[in-house]
Amino acid sequence: MKISEMHLGFLGFGHMAQVIFQAIDHAKLIPRSQVSFIRRDPQKMRENEKTFGITSTSLERLLKTSDLIILGVRPHQAKEVLSQMKGMDPAKMVVTMLSGIHIATYRKYLKNPLVRVMPNTASEVGMGMSVFSYADAPSEVFRSLTHLLFSCMGEVIELPEAMMDISVGISGSGPGFVFRLIEAAAREGEKRGIPYKDALTMAAQTFMGAGKLVLKKGNVQNLLLQIATPNGTTEAGLKKMSELKIDEHYREVISAATKRSKELSEES
């Protein structure tokens, strides 16, 4: 099946589902006439129809007409929704964005091709990181379709489900940690006389540029050697980072998010 021929259904249409739809629509992967959605709030559903130019529908019809279903309800609604999905055509493909719900839980209800995906908020600007964990060895059709859908928002990586919690710490929650660091740099610039807006631009562009360099070069240590000239400003800052054990503390930040992800999985 060509992606342009596929019918896509969003079961749940909150912020991340809207980001995904907009990316797909911008990339012209699937015509709007082949996209439908459902959400619990009737008023928001009507507003979304007007805003995005796609059709809301019933759960029964969405499950019947969609070739691929993106599940984006709240985790506490998972069991109720999955029980309603039980018995649907096993050929339907399912992508779930629900955090903390293991593949084993889905398999109690569904036998369909299924992948857990954890996108992050940077997907909104086409620079997201989406981590995939397939329930079973995916067919080439399923893999190519799902990769194509999410690669239009940024990078895609496949990992075993056991790696999903640490992925939350690194990339799922990661933008929040970077926001804090950017804000800290901008406020320091403001404190020393730079207008806040300009300092914020400097800090954000620096993080974005550094990230792109890492992706291009692939060796952080070499980049550090290139920039940290002896007795220079960067070396002075890096020495202070070592004294403050910034690296260790940041690993603890990631560890805290990872731990909470595991707890949420156990609670669900």
Environment class of 11 (CB within 10 Å of its CB; exposed 0-12, middle 13-18, buried 19+): buried
Question: What is the per-residue pLDDT for 100?
Answer: 85
Judge whether 93 and 67 are in contact, CB under 8 Å. yes
Q: Tens digit of pLDDT for each residue in 128-140? A: 999 999 999 999 9
Q: Where are the domains of the chain?
A: 3-167, 172-267
Pairing of strands 128-134, 114-118: antiparallel
Which pLDDT score is estimated for 69?
98
User: What whole-number distance in Å separates Cα of residue 100 and Cα of residue 86?
Assistant: 20
**Any idea what DSSP says for residue 232?**
S
Nearest to 137 by CA among 162, 160, 157, 164: 160
CA distance readout (Å), 217 to 175, 204, 220: 22, 20, 8
**Intra-chain end-to-end CA distance of the chain, in Å:** 35
Q: Are 33 and 26 in contact (CB under 8 A)?
A: no
Which ranges of the chain have pLDDT less than 70? Answer: 268
pLDDT one-digit tens code per residue, 244-256? 999 999 999 999 9
At the top level of CATH, the class of 172-267 is: mainly alpha
Q: Do domains 3-167 and 172-267 have the same CATH topology?
A: no
Which tokens go with 37? Answer: 């959605």
pTM: 0.91
Cα dist. 77→73, 87, 115 in Å?
6, 18, 18
- Secondary structure E strands in the chain: 8-11, 35-38, 55-56, 68-71, 93-96, 114-118, 128-134, 154-158
How much is the pLDDT for 102? Answer: 92
- Decide: residue 228, CB within 10 A, 0-12 exposed, 13-18 middle, 19+ buried: middle
Which residues are registered as beta bridge partners of 156? 130
Cα 263 to Cα 165: distance, rounded to the nearest angstrom: 10
The answer to whether 128 and 117 are in contact (CB under 8 A) is: no
Rg of the chain, C-alpha, whole Å = 21
Q: Tell me how far the alpha carbon of residue 199 is from its chain's centroid.
A: 28
pLDDT of residue 268: 67
Give the pLDDT of residue 232.
96
**Fold of the 3-167 domain:** Rossmann fold (3.40.50)
